[in-house]
Amino acid sequence: MSAQAAVGVDLGGTNLKVALVDGKGKILGQRTLAVEASGGPRRAVADACDAIDRLLAEQSLTCGDLVGVGIGAPGPISYREARIIHAANLPGWQDVDLCTPVSKRLGTQVAFDNDGNAAAYGEYWAGAGRGTDGMVMLTLGTGVGAGVILDGQILHGHFDNAGELGHMIVVPDGLPCACGQAGCLEQYASASAVARRVIAAVEAGEACVLSTQVGGRSAVDARRVAEAARGGDALCLRIWDEACLYLAVACINIQHAYNPECIVVGGGMSEAGAFLIDRVLEHSRRHRWCLHDDFPSVKLASLGYHAGVVGAAGLAWTRFGEAK
């Protein structure tokens, strides 16, 4: 009997997402669980496997109907050894093997990769990048996640950490980053950075419509900044436009480094749609080279919140089975 589904697991610092996915990338069922950090990896594995059992039962399937399980985990990771080296947002998670206990519990094969790579693979396999031979994904959220896929393969690099594009330096000696560098892309073009820069400017005395419309710092987010910028607020428009400029610089660097067919943009900032993409393209046209027309298309991600679990399941389908 041929496999009916794969399981995708997307492990985050707050939530653990689990989904049952068919060979075309369609989600058959899903669960989102809170990560009990104090329970450590053992608790996370147990919770994930319990959720998988329930999802299978709902579809009248068993573990024998699975092609495998794919796990996307926060890094840095060792892809070759299938281990989390150090999950920054999960205290105590160092040198963690999730694959062996999941495989033993479910009796199935397990694929493992960085969560940014898994999300990128989701868009490549079943989303906005479907049908391309190469794409790069940028996820603009708390930071800037990324994944690079060339000739259908995820780029891992010699040290298993290729594609950390949120940490390309766009402003030498710029804003300090939690990674230890300064001037990283994610300090200027992530959703949290956009909000943080507006807050800092308001606190420094600059006029802004958000300073009177919201009641506190926590209410300022990238969505509100984009709305205020659309409405003509000078401060929000300036910071939004600067973020788009830095993204354009990143896209030009991606063009020269990888030459992909497309760049897919996801995460919270992507909800601004054309207000983001059009400005990024406008800046890129002014700054990229004129020797050859090889700039990739830049498009919005289509899987949204589900990219990680779909991509993780897609890894299992690709490595262990044949997608329908």
Question: Do 271 and 240 have their domain in common?
Answer: yes
pLDDT tens digits for 99-133? 999 999 999 999 999 999 999 999 999 999 999 99
The pLDDT tens digits of the residues spanning 73-106 come to 987 899 999 999 988 778 889 999 999 999 999 9
The answer to whether 71 and 98 are in contact (CB under 8 A) is yes
Which element (helix H / strand E) includes 115? helix 115-126
Evaluate if residue 291 carries a pLDDT over 80: yes
Give the residue numbers marked as catalytic: 115
What is the pLDDT, as a whole number, of residue 214? 56
The two structure tokens encoding residue 304? 């949204």
DSSP 66-78: EEEEEEEE-SSEE
- Mean pLDDT for 232-257 is 98
Is 282 a residue whose pLDDT tops 90?
yes
Same domain, yes or no: 57 and 153: no
Distance (Å, rounded) from C-alpha 138 to C-alpha 146?
Answer: 5
d(C-alpha 220, C-alpha 45), whole Å: 35
**Do 100 and 149 share a domain, yes or no?**
no
pLDDT of residue 76: 86
pLDDT tens column, 206-240: 999 998 765 555 679 999 999 999 999 999 999 99
Q: What angle do CA 296, 299, 304 make, to 5 degrees?
A: 140
Q: Could you say which DSSP state residue 11 is in? A: E
Question: Are both 292 and 187 inside the same structural domain?
Answer: yes
- Mean predicted lDDT score pLDDT of the chain: 93
Do 104 and 216 have their domain in common?
A: no
Confidence label for 324 from pLDDT (cuts 50, 70 and 90): very low
92: containing domain: 5-124+305-320
**Same structural domain, 235 and 115:** no
> Domain check: are 145 and 50 in the same one?
no
**Whether residues 256 and 316 fall in one domain:** no
For position 178, what pLDDT does the model report?
A: 87
Distance CA 223, CA 191 (A): 8
- Is residue 30 within 8 A of residue 16, CB to CB? The reply is no
The candidate with the shortest Cα–Cα distance to 304, out of 127, 51, 44, 173, is: 127
What pLDDT, on a 0 to 100 scale, did the predictor assign at position 8?
A: 98
CATH number of residue 199's parent domain: 3.30.420.40
My answer on whether 202 and 311 are in the same domain is: no
Beta-carbon contacts of 251 under 8 Å, excluding residues fewer than 6 positions away, are: 263, 280, 284, 295, 296, 298
Same domain, 287 and 189: yes
How distant, in Å, are the alpha carbons of 153, 202, 220, 222, 235 from that of 216? 45, 12, 7, 14, 17
Residues 232 and 286 in one domain: yes
Residue 322 scores a pLDDT above 70: no
Provide the number of structural domains found in the chain.
Answer: 2
Instruction: Assess whether 159 and 115 both reside in one domain.
Output: no
Angle at 182 between CA 252 and CA 121, to 5 degrees: 50
